[in-house]
Amino acid sequence: MKAQRYLLETDDLGHLATQPELPAHSKIEAIFLVLDEDAKKSMRIPPKELASMTQICGDIMAPAIDEEEWGALK
């Protein structure tokens, strides 16, 4: 079984605007999730505390605690 994602759009009457190309001689199961119009238009914006950050300070790749304190190595 192989999953593929298709984004289908409909016209004013609810008919498919375009049809995807599908593999020949195969059975296809489809589950349709209708996307809200608001979901497309809404933009994600960072919190105000982060929006004002202009630079990263310090080493962001370093672990928060020393390796000896992990406990998983014991």
Percent of the chain topping pLDDT 90: 3
Mean pLDDT of all residues belonging to the chain: 79
Q: Is the pLDDT of residue 67 over 70?
A: yes
Q: Is the pLDDT of residue 59 over 70?
A: yes
pLDDT at 25: 92
pLDDT at 45: 77
Residue 44 and residue 50 in contact, taking contact as beta carbons nearer than 8 Å:
no
Q: Which residue has the tokens 């370093």?
A: 62
Residue 10 and residue 16 in contact, taking contact as beta carbons nearer than 8 Å:
yes
Segment holding 41, helix H or strand E: helix 37-41
pLDDT at 19: 86
